[in-house]
Amino acid sequence: MPALILPLVDAATHWPERGALVGLDLGTKTIGVAVSDPDRRLATGVETIQRKQFKQDAARLLAIAAERKAAGFVLGLPINMDGSEGPRAQSTRAFARNLAGLTALPIGLWDERLSTAAVERELIGMDVSRAKRAEVIDEHAAIFILQGALDRLANLRTG
């Protein structure tokens, strides 16, 4: 049975209480990957996957999820500033549908507006060179996306 693809808050009801989440920042050339601890408090960068073919990309993501005993995925959904969904969001939803066909792990979609811009500003503030920023931006965006999702879920739990 394919995985469920739901907004983050709805997906969370299908994840067990504990277990890592894999956060993804989907770019056209790369996929930034971050993973949470089993208690879902802290997001940590794992790697940046150079996109090849979907099956190869998905195989690597599923291997990471298995290695970390993940309970689900958090996929950054690039929504426009006006709240509408453009071609990038449609592409992300298509990727989620294809990934869902290969796993039973529920996929939560999380609004990633401004994540890359925020990470870029942070890296510039740390005086990271342009070349180095290009290498790490997607992984750091995945951390930013996953940490935002973890914080939202923690706020829901505490009321």
Domain spans of the chain, in order of start: 5-84+96-158
**What per-residue confidence (pLDDT) applies to 110?**
93
Residue 70, sorted as left (phi over 0), alpha (psi -120 to 50) or beta, turns out to be beta
**More confidently predicted of 81 and 52:** 52
Alpha-carbon distance values, 93 to 32, 49, 50, 78, 108 (Å): 16, 19, 19, 10, 11
Quick: pLDDT tens for 102-159: 999 999 999 887 666 677 778 788 887 877 777 777 888 899 899 999 999 999 888 6
State how far the Cα of 23 lies from the Cα of 71, in Å rounded to an integer. 11
Tens digit of each residue's pLDDT (9 = 90 or more) over 9-49:
999 999 999 999 999 999 889 999 999 999 999 999 999 99
Task: Round to whole Å and give the CA distance between 45 and 40.
Answer: 14
pLDDT reported for residue 9: 94
Q: Give me the mean pLDDT over the 59-67 stretch.
A: 98
Amino acid 116: pLDDT: 67
Q: Which residues contact 66 (CB under 8 A, 6 or more apart)?
A: none
Q: What is the pLDDT of residue 115?
A: 65
Query: When comparing pLDDT for 87 and 120, which is higher?
Result: 87
- Among the listed residues 146, 158, 156, the one whose alpha carbon sits nearest the alpha carbon of residue 40: 146
One-letter amino acid identity for 132? K
* CATH superfamily, domain at 5-84+96-158: YqgF/RNase H-like domain (3.30.420.140)
Q: Tell me how far apart the alpha carbons of residues 13 and 10 are, in angstroms, rounded to a whole number.
A: 6
Q: Which two tokens stand for residue 138?
A: 């997607």
